[in-house]
Amino acid sequence: MSALTQPEDDFKARLDAGLWWKLFQRALRMKRHLVPLCIAAVVIAACEAGYAHVTRWVIDAVVRDGADAPLGLHLAAYLGLTAVLSVGVWVFIEKAGNLSNRLAHDIRRDGFDRLQELEFAFYDTRPVGWLITRLTSDCDRLARIMAWGFLDLVWGTSFLLMIAASLLVMNWKLGLIVIAIVPPLAVVSKYFQRKMLLSAREIRRTNSQITAAYNEAIQGVRTTKTLVREAENLAEFSRLSTRMFDAAVLNARQNAVYFPIVTTLGSLAAGLALWRGGVLVGNEAMSVGTLVAFVNFAGQFFFPINQLAQKLTEMQGAQAAGERVMGLLSTEPAIQDNATVRARLAAMAANPPTADLAPDGLPARIATVEFRHVTFRYATGPVVLEDFNLTVRAGETIALVGPSGGGKSTIASLVCRFYEPVSGQILINGIDYRERSLAWLQAQLGIVLQTPHLFKGTVRENIRYGRLDATDAEVEAAARRVNAHDFILQLEHGYDTPVGEGGNRLSSGQRQLVSFARALLADPQIFVMDEATSSIDTETEQLIQRGLQTMFAGRISFVIAHRLSTIRRADRILVITRGRIEECGTHEELVRRRGHYYELYTSQFQREREEAVLEGAAPEPFQK
Ligand code: ADP
C-alpha cells in the first residue's frame, strides 16, 4: 500500500496544542452534546471516588457502633451511587457517540464543500485517493478521537483530581506519599502506550499487505503457474508473514510487561499506605475506614492515568490526520472573487439587478471573449501557451484542431476560468474576467466533455441537472432541440430509463446527445466542447451534428474538434501547435492554403471515408 493510503504512518513526537484546540473548537460548537458529556464524565468520576468514601464510612460506623451501625442507610447510599453512575454512563456513551458522529458529519460536509470550491490546479497536485482518504478514514478517526478522547480526558483528569483531593483531605502527609506514585506511573504508562500503539499499527499494516498478497496470489494464479513464480512468491509472503508475527509477538510482550509493572506500582502505593497508615491506625491517629479508603484509592490511580496516557498517545498518532484535514479545510481557493467583485455582488444583492445586468452589476450579455497576450503554464510544468491572442464574438464557433498536447484543452480550461492566465488577460466585453463574478461566469458556461459524465439516475434527471427547476416539458423541449428526443423515447422507460453508473447503459453517441440537452437547458452563453474521438455510427453522427448546430446558435463556442463535419461548420478554425496559433481561417481558406490543416484534413478525411465505407454508409463528398 502506498503512503497515501496509509495516513497512520506518521507519529508526531509532540502534541500540537494549537491544532487540537482548533479541532476541539468544532466540538465546542455542539454545546448541547458537549456539556452533558462533560457533566457525565465528572459525575462518573465522582461516583467512582464515592464508592471508596462509602466503604470508609461503613467500616468506621461498624467499628464505632458495632451492630447498631445504620447499615440500611449505607446500602441506600451505595445503591444511590450505583444508580447515578448508571445514568452517567448512559449519558456518557450516548453523547460521546452522538458527538463523534456529528463531528464526522460536519468535517465531512465542510471538506466536501471546500473540495467543490477549490480550483482545478489543486486537483492537479493531489491524487484522488489521497483526497478521499482525507474525507473518509482521517475524518472518522479524528471525530472518534475528539469525542471519546475529550471524554476520557475530562473523566481521567477529574477522577485523578478527586482521588488526590480525597487523599490529601483525609491525611495530607500520607496522601503525599501515595501521590508520589503518580509521576512514575504516568511515565511508564506513556512509554508503553506509545510502544503498543506503534506495534499495533505494524500488525495492521502487515495484515493489509497480507490481504493484498492473498488477493494477488489468488487472482494471478494462472500467470504465477505459467511463469513458475511460486517459490519467489512464497518467499515474499513468508517475509510479510514473519513481519506480522514479529509485530504481534512484540505487542503481546509489551502488554505482558506493561500490566505487571503498573500493577506493581499500584500495589507499592497501596503497600506504602497500608504500612504508614497501619502505624497511624495503631496510634489511633487514623480510622480503619480511612486506611481502607487509602488502600482503595492507591490501587485506583492506574485507571485514569492509563486512560490519559492512551488518549494522549492516540492524539499524537492522529495528529498527522488532523493536520491534513485541517489543512484541507483551511485551504483558500486560489481562484475566487476578489474584494471588488465581492463588494459589487453585495451591493447588487441589496437592490436586485435588472435583466440586462449580471449579479456583479456588469452587463449580463457576453458580446466578446478575448485572449490578450495570454501566457500560461501549469503549476509544475513548462509554458503551455505563450503570448496567445484571440478575440471571439457572440455567435462565433471556434474549432481548435492540432496535434495532441498542443494546448487546445488548456485554452478551453482558461475560458472556463478553471485556471487563470499566468500573465496577460482574458477579457469579457473588454473587462478582465477576474473582475467578474466567478459564479456568474461559470453559470454562463455549457460544457460537454469527450466522455460526458452522466450521473446515476434517469435520463430525465440527467438532463435536468442543467437547470434543476426545469419542468418536464422544458426537459423534453431541450431534448427535442438537440435531436435526443426520439432515441430517448425508444429506450425501455423513455425519459425515466436509468442511465446506469456513469451512463454506461447508453452508447457514447447517446451520452453526448443527453449531455447536449443538459447543456442546452442551462442556456449557456459560452459553449465549450471536447468532441469525442471514438467512432459513432453515421446516423447518430448526423443527429449529433444537427444537435450541435442548435448548441452553437447565438453562443460563443469553442470546440476541440475531431469531426470534419463540425470543423467545416466552424466560423474559424485554429490550428494549435505548441501553444501557438499556427493557422487560422475558415475551412475553405485553410484548405486552399495547403498547410498543416490541409494535411490533417486530407489524412482524416481518408480515415473517415474508409470507416464510412466499412459501415456501408455513403461517404461524404470531399470538399475543397
Ligand atoms: P491538447 O488539448 O492540445 O491535447 P493540452 O492543453 O491538454 O493539449 O496540454 C498542453 C500541455 O499541457 C501538454 O504538454 C500537457 O502535458 C500539459 N498539461 C495539460 N494538463 C495539465 C495539467 N493539469 N497539469 C500539468 N500539465 C498539464
Ligand 1 proximity of 406 Cβ (cutoff 6 Å): yes
Q: Across 293-422, where does the E strand assignment appear? A: 368-377, 383-393, 397-401
- Asked if residues 238 and 263 have their Cβ atoms less than 8 Å apart, the reply is no
- Asked if residues 137 and 324 have their Cβ atoms less than 8 Å apart, the reply is no
Ligand 1 proximity of 579 Cβ (cutoff 6 Å): no
CA distances from 314 to 105, 149, 321, 406 (A): 21, 8, 11, 50
Contacts of 501 (CB under 8 A, 6+ apart): 456
pLDDT at position 237: 86
pLDDT at position 618: 53
- HSE at residue 18, side-chain half, CA atoms within 13 A, is 2
Ligand 1 proximity of 509 Cβ (cutoff 6 Å): no
Residue 463 DSSP one-character state: H
pLDDT at position 32: 87
Rg (CA), the chain: 36
pLDDT in tens, 67-85: 787 888 888 999 999 999 9
Which of 123, 378, 574 should be mutated for ligand 1, with most atoms under 8 A from CB?
378
Ligand 1 proximity of 533 Cβ (cutoff 6 Å): no
pLDDT at position 2: 38
Instruction: Give how far the C-alpha of residue 502 lies from the chain's centroid of Cα atoms, to the nearest Å.
Output: 21
Report which ligand 1 atom has the smallest distance to the Cα of 530.
2
Beta bridge pairs of residue 530: 560
Report which ligand 1 atom has the smallest distance to the Cα of 407.
6
Report which ligand 1 atom has the smallest distance to the Cα of 121.
23
Low-confidence stretches of the chain (pLDDT beneath 50): 1-8, 622, 624
Ligand 1 proximity of 410 Cβ (cutoff 6 Å): yes
pLDDT in tens, 463-484: 998 888 999 999 999 999 888 9
pLDDT in tens, 554-589: 899 999 988 778 888 899 999 999 988 999 999 889
pLDDT at position 51: 92
Ligand 1 proximity of 407 Cβ (cutoff 6 Å): yes
> Nearest C-alpha to atom 12 of ligand 1 is from which residue?
384
pLDDT at position 560: 92
What is the pLDDT of the chain when averaged over all its residues?
85
Which of 376, 401, 410 should be mutated for ligand 1, with most atoms under 8 A from CB?
410
- Cα separation, 261 vs 376, whole angstroms: 65
